[in-house]
Structure 1
Amino acid sequence: MTTLTDRYLAATLRSVPAPRREEIATELRASIEDMIEDRTAGGQETATAEREVLTELGNPAQLAARYADRRLQLIGPTYYLAWERLLKLLLSFVPALVGVVVGLVEATDGKNPGGAVGAGIAAALQVVVQIAFWVTLVFAVIERTNTALNLPEWTVDQLPEARAHRQITLTDTAATIGWLVLVIAYLPLQHLHSFVPASDGGNLPILDPALWSFWLPFLIAVLVATVGLEVAKYRAGRWTWPLVAVNAVLDLAFAVPVIGLLLTDRLLSVEFVARFEWLGQGDNLDTVATVAVVVTILIALWDMVDCVVKAYRNRH
């Protein structure tokens, strides 16, 4: 079982330079053990002594800054860590959210669908600058005016649980969720702006509009559930057998309808097929459908096998 000391060391060492981590870990653990031993020699319980020692040492982020000789004084030492946590939290999702919304609005207003991506990126960058400026300004004013925020004191109960090596990284999760959001957004968008021009210059939907009676809403629901799965995977940090089972169900729930629609020539709109003459020549459409079915099957099988292998490695 991981002790409070182990968790405290892990929380401290994550913010110190990698070359010094082993040295600092040895020194800090020895100091903690000596302080605990001094208290237990006076008759105190070991668990109680450990909590009191770690509480006296204080927030591991502040201790790590001292070891790294890093000053917490951009806006002042009192609320630096609170400023840093809030800034990271806001920057983690607000710019991306605003960028997606602006991009979708730009793409659907009919004036400049091609510039939607650029507009979304520009809006996200502006939000980053605004958040950084205003949050920093507010905390600087609070610091200089000695305004009390009455934030709760740090306690050992705030120590994060120690985790094994992560299989699921934040970068992978963010990239996957971003891709899923784009696909979810494009499914309804392609009926208005598919970026495939018709012969008369109008919009040419790629998917059959009749699918909105059931299949497209169903596939969107599966993709939304997959976003939830990605969040659950990141929180777990690794593949577990329940996650493997859910992933398999979602893979099948998406792949089987797509394969069925491809094989029955119901996935693509009639207008889209007619727009490209070579699709109507000979068996070209059947060939394209067969290739798409094979690719869909291979992707689904690879994803299911990959997560099974990763879950198996976790247990052995």
Structure 2
Amino acid sequence: MNTLTDRYLAATLRSVPTQRREEIATELRASIEDMIEGRTDGGTDPATAERAVLTELGNPDLLAARYADRRLQLIGPTYYLVWLRLLKLLLSFIPALVGTIVTIVEATEGKGFGGIGPGIVAAMQVAVQIAFWLTVTFAVIERTQTTVDLPEWTVDQLPDAPVRRGIPLADTIASVIMLVLTIAYALVQHYHSWVEGDDGANIPVLDPALWSFWLPALIAVLVASVVFEIVKYRTGRWTWRLFGVKALLNLAFAVPLAWLAAADRLLNPALGERLSWLAEAENRESLGLAIALGTAAIVVWDLIDTARKTRQQTAA
């Protein structure tokens, strides 16, 4: 069920301490049911009574603050929730937009991937400025007692009660970040690998010859994996079809990587000029074998863990 009462409880409990949620949920649901029963005993329709009771209880965020004994005093209780909602909205896209624009401008001026740093700095500066000036604005409004007509809260604003997902958002974000960082490093290391030759020139970690086919192909698989992570999260749970797609993507990346490493075609031979121990063929072979075995072990473990999750969630 996803009744107004369920939605009201969910909206209230998300802002209270975890250890008190069960106690508060039981108490609040009982109070709501008693109040609804009192109205229905007087002849009021149950649906109308429920809406009237929840409207009387008011904004669930304010009720949660009272249950948690939390004072909303950063701005003041009158404007705090509006300030917080607007702050989240502005921070959700403006810093990222500014950072992207700065990065593109820096790249067009010939700085290449070196423009990522200024873009990140610009995004952080914009975020700080937004938080500061928005807070100052609301503080001035409150302290000058300026009359602001705020919209009244109604039960129609209640969000749907959260559905238990088999794929947490945090896991998806972590996976996407790791994939994006891997793609970024594969590109960046060709221009700035932090390994320099005796003449100060950059020495890529990966063999530049791989750009003829293998590196673009592996990057394409990683991009497809990012798309897969998003689709997987939107699906909400593991299915055997998703497991099959993940297995194909894992193998499409791991098999070529392991083969290139074992065949001593993954790392740049020029690394031996700077790292003397890589100049010996035996050491390169040992490192390549270690990379291949490590890649295989990670893929096998990941597929076993994914199969276990898929079996649990399809059986539920």
Q: What TM-score range do you get, normalising by the shorter chain? A: 0.7 to 0.9
Counterpart of 1:145? 146
Letter in 1 for 2:50: E
1:129 is displaced (CA, Å) by: 2.8
For 1:140 and 1:234, locate their aligned partners in 2 and report how far apart those are by CA, in whole Å.
Answer: 39
Distance 1:224 1:60, change over 3 A: farther
**After superposition, where does 1:170-185 map in structure 2 within 5 Å?**
170=170, 172-185=171-184
SS of match in other structure, 2:270: helix
**After superposition, where does 1:1-316 map in structure 2 within 5 Å?**
1-91=1-91, 109=111, 126-141=125-140, 144-148=145-149, 153-156=153-156, 158-164=158-164, 168=168, 170=170, 172-234=171-233, 239-273=238-272, 275-314=274-313, 315-316=315-316
Letter in 1 for 2:147: N
Q: Give the aligned CA root-mean-square deviation in angstroms.
A: 3.7
Deviation per residue, 1:150-173 (Å, 9 max, x gap): x58443453233333766253x44
1:277 is displaced (CA, Å) by: 4.2
Q: State the identity as a percent.
A: 58
Is contact 2:8-2:158 (8 Å) kept?
no
1:194 is displaced (CA, Å) by: 0.6
1:238 is displaced (CA, Å) by: 5.1
SS of match in other structure, 1:283: helix
Deviation per residue, 1:273-301 (Å, 9 max, x gap): 55444334343323222221111111111
Is contact 1:168-1:233 (8 Å) kept?
no
1:50 is displaced (CA, Å) by: 2.8
For 2:119 and 2:271, locate their aligned partners in 1 and report how far apart those are by CA, in whole Å.
Answer: 28
Letter in 1 for 2:146: T
For 2:203 and 2:213, locate their aligned partners in 1 and report how far apart those are by CA, in whole Å.
Answer: 21
Gaps of 5+ in 2: none
Gaps of 5+ in 1: none
For 2:137 and 2:242, locate their aligned partners in 1 and report how far apart those are by CA, in whole Å.
Answer: 42
Distance 1:17 1:287, change over 3 A: closer
Pairs aligned (count): 308
Is contact 2:221-2:249 (8 Å) kept?
yes
Is contact 2:232-2:238 (8 Å) kept?
yes
Deviation per residue, 1:24-55 (Å, 9 max, x gap): 22221112112322343455543444344334
SS of match in other structure, 2:300: helix
For 2:258 and 2:139, locate their aligned partners in 1 and report how far apart those are by CA, in whole Å.
Answer: 58
1:72 is displaced (CA, Å) by: 2.9
SS of match in other structure, 1:203: coil
For 1:98 and 1:56, locate their aligned partners in 2 and report how far apart those are by CA, in whole Å.
Answer: 43
